[in-house]
Chain A
Amino acid sequence: MLGEYAPFVLAAYGVTIALVGGLVALSVWRGARVRAALEKVERKDG
């Protein structure tokens, strides 16, 4: 389907999925971690 340029097209999509997917995962992970830490401190403070 992609012919002779298949490695270039697949590499472009692969790099994009890895970078954008990594950014989304990192953002969600840090968001959850900070939220949990804040809730813990707020509970302790009453």
Chain B
Amino acid sequence: MNIWEFANPARFTRLVSRVLPWVAGAAALCLAVGLIWGFFFTPDDFRQGSTVKIIYIHVPAAFVAINAWLMMFVMSLIWLIRRHHVSALAARAAAPVGAVMTLVALLTGAIWGQPMWGTWWEWDPRLTSFLILFVFYLGYIALWQAVDEPDTAADLTAILCLVGSVFALLSRYAVLIWNQGLHQGASLSLDREENVADVFYQPLLFALAGFVLLFVALVLLRTRTEIRARRLRALMLREAV
């Protein structure tokens, strides 16, 4: 099977109808396990107290926020190089999901920061680059809305996405690049020594899988909607002529 076959909107829509219930079900299961386990069945941290429970939403939301933009980056490149409409629509579909995840990461971080750092906000490299990423998400969504001609909108938003990718990467590596500010390093790492303690790590992995699967489910659903909306516009234009 050739992956480019799914660039055909009809084939992509059929694929989504088949896999979406399974992806959504897996997302619900992983979220339920991760969040219930983390919220009710893990101890408080000796320094952070019960605020450590915010990690199960903050870390996965931040992870999805950055990687959603990287997914949009890949989809934008495919659009610019191969002109597959499904890829442009997938990038468009992912943007509101990424924006909401960025907002969740910013808000839960602020709520955690108040009791732990003594402030809701600090112009720290990680926080600031995340705020800029959020503004890029809003700009990307607004640009799609502002341009009437769909292919021109796809071209312009793809360019914006390529530029914004710098901030997505900066958000990910800000702590390492500047090595200053309040925000700590990664809670999850391939290096076991850098991870949070096992008692928090295991439910966090479930929550992370749940957020990623939820992102995939929402992007599939919203891309199918964008494909149908595009066909609807084309049919209505044909009727109007």
Q: Residues of A at under 8 Å CB distance from B?
A: 1-6, 8-9, 11-13, 15-16, 19-20, 23-24, 27-28, 30-31, 34-35, 37-38, 41-42, 45
Q: Is B58 located at the chain interface by the 8 A CB criterion?
A: yes
Q: Shortest beta-carbon distance, A35 to chain B, in Å?
A: 6
A46 to B220, CA, bound (A): 28
Q: Which residues of A contact B100 (CB under 8 A)?
A: 19-20, 23
Instruction: Provide the B118-131 mask, 1 if CB < 8 A to any CB of A, else 0.
Output: 00000000000000
Beta-carbon contact of A8 and B54 below 8 Å: yes
Number of interface residues of B (CB under 8 A): 34
Q: Does the CB pair B218–A23 fall under 8 Å?
A: yes
Give CA–CA (A16, B104) in the complex, Å: 6
Number of A-B contacts (CB under 8 A): 87
Residues of chain B lying within 8 A (CB to CB) of residue A15: 104, 107-108, 111
In the complex, chain B residues whose CB is within 8 Å of the CB of A6:
50
Q: Shortest Cβ distance from A11 into chain B, in angstroms?
A: 5
B159-167, B170-178, B179-187, B226-234: which lies at the A interface?
A: B226-234
A-B contact list, 27 entries, CB within 8 Å? A2-B50, A2-B53, A4-B49, A8-B54, A8-B115, A9-B53, A12-B58, A12-B111, A12-B112, A13-B39, A13-B53, A13-B54, A15-B111, A16-B57, A16-B108, A19-B100, A19-B107, A20-B214, A23-B218, A27-B221, A28-B221, A30-B225, A31-B224, A34-B225, A35-B225, A38-B235, A42-B235
B27, closest chain A residue (CB): A24
**Chief secondary structure at chain A's binding surface:** helix
